[in-house]
Amino acid sequence: AGLPSAAVGALITLQLAGMELTIIATIGIVMLIGIVKKNAIMMIDFALDVQRSQGLKPAEAIRQACILRFRPIMMTTLAALMGALPIALGLGAGAELRAPLGLAVVGGLILSQAVTLYITPVIYLALDRFSGSGPDEREVADFASKAI
């Protein structure tokens, strides 16, 4: 859910910084794929586990997953963000070569994190609904009102 937003965030950040999409920036975007997909997988895996083991409805399972996995997801994302920040700031020798990589990672993480935390539960419920055992409209509306 967050992979396209990660690429968009990286490209917007590069554009705002006045940098081109180089091979190094592309490597940064590839790095984002691993980081961003991990966040959605952590949330979905936890929701499926809770749904199966405790017999919860999908809306309640993904709600618990969002609550319980929020901190670990934020911690790993912030660790990656803080690791890429010195590269993005362009400090030291050879910084002009590495700066696009850091900017791509930082910009992509910021946008994709915001999008992933909101879009992943919605996609989870939508896919569950299409599988035939999903919630009805009232459950989705109730979940959405709690999220806002």
CATH number at residue 35: 1.20.1640.10
Global confidence as pTM: 0.77
Token code pair at residue 6: 């990660």
pLDDT at 134 over 60: no
The total domain count for the chain is 1
139: containing domain: 3-147
Q: Which of 36-40, 99-103, 128-132 has the lowest mean pLDDT?
A: 128-132
Q: Using one digit for the tens of pLDDT, what is the confidence trace for 18-32? A: 999 999 999 999 998
DSSP designation for 93:
T
> Of 124, 147, 119, 120, whose CA–CA distance to 135 is shortest?
124
Instruction: Give the chain's mean pLDDT.
Output: 88
Long-range contacts made by residues 49-55, C-beta under 8 angstroms, separation at least 24? none
**What pLDDT does residue 147 have?**
65
pLDDT band at 3; cut points 50, 70, 90: confident
pLDDT band at 136; cut points 50, 70, 90: low
Residue entry with tokens 């091979």? 23
Q: Using one digit for the tens of pLDDT, what is the confidence trace for 62-118? A: 999 999 999 999 999 999 999 999 999 988 888 888 999 999 999 999 999 988 888
